[in-house]
Every structure is written in structure tokens, then in C-alpha cells.
Amino acid sequence: MHSQLIVHRDLKLENILVSDRQKVKIIDFGFGIRTPADVNLKIFCGTSAYMSPEIVSKSDYNGFKADIWSLGVVLYVLLTGKFPFKAKTEKELFMRI
């Protein structure tokens, strides 16, 4: 996906499927965009628990790096069974991220 200059911008457990043949499939490209690697994005989007610090702070961000952050959260959840950042409110969650 990234080699085709496409960023997903909403990678999360619910958007990653594994087929019966053990092939990983990424779904829901509603926020996906094709972009040059050196162009920063501005649109605030994604799922709160998976957002990178740049998105949370509403700064310009590199979509490819934001996807990698989200995949790190996915890996963390798969290994530990819990999210790396938890809070009762979205505002508190964003402060922790």
C-alpha cells in the first residue's frame, strides 16, 4: 500500500482481516489517500486510540508515519491484550498520547 503511495489513515484491528489461507487483508479505505511521500497532511481523521501524536495535536503529519504508529498500536494490542493509552474521555486519551 505504501509502496503505491497510498496511506490508509484508519488502520485498526477492525480494519485488518486474515483469510482462511492466512493472507492479511486491509479494508475500509474511507480515509485513504494517494499522496507523495514528502507531503504532510492536515486533515484530522482516524480512530482515537490509534491516532499518532501529530494527528492528536492537530499538527501537519506524514500519513505514512501515522499509519506506522497505528500499526504499532495494533501490534501492542495483539501482544498485550490492551491498548497502550487508555482514558475515560477522549480529551484525556489525547493528552496521554
Instruction: Indicate which residues carry an active-site annotation.
Output: 10
Q: Are 63 and 75 in contact (CB under 8 A)?
A: no
**Residue whose C-alpha is closest to residue 4's, from 40, 37, 27:** 37
Our CA angle for 70, 72, 64, nearest 5°, is: 50
